[in-house]
Amino acid sequence: AQEVEINRLKERVKILEDKEGVIGDISGADAPIKGRSTNEGEAPAERISTDSEEIA
């Protein structure tokens, strides 16, 4: 009975590890998008400072 349970758990671990690998690939693909969003946040700040210099 214990061997059956051990084998079931081993299969489950393998399935979860396979899923984790897929999730890891997806989150890795998201990393550049996060980097881009920070750069986009900086661009409007530069535009605002340029506009305020023109007003002054």
Whole-prediction pTM? 0.37
Cα 49-41-35 angle, rounded to 5 deg: 140
- Cα–chain center distance at 39: 17
What's the domain range around 8? 1-28
The two tokens of residue 13 are: 């671990």
Whether 36 maps to a domain, the answer reads: no
Whether 44 maps to a domain, the answer reads: no
Q: What is the mean pLDDT of residues 21-35?
A: 56
Residue with the larger pLDDT of the pair 20 and 36? 20
**Residue 40 reports pLDDT greater than 60:** no
Residue 11 pLDDT level (bands cut at 50, 70, 90): very high
Whether 4 maps to a domain, the answer reads: yes
Residue-level pLDDT at 32: 53
Whether 19 maps to a domain, the answer reads: yes
**% residues pLDDT > 70 (the chain):** 34
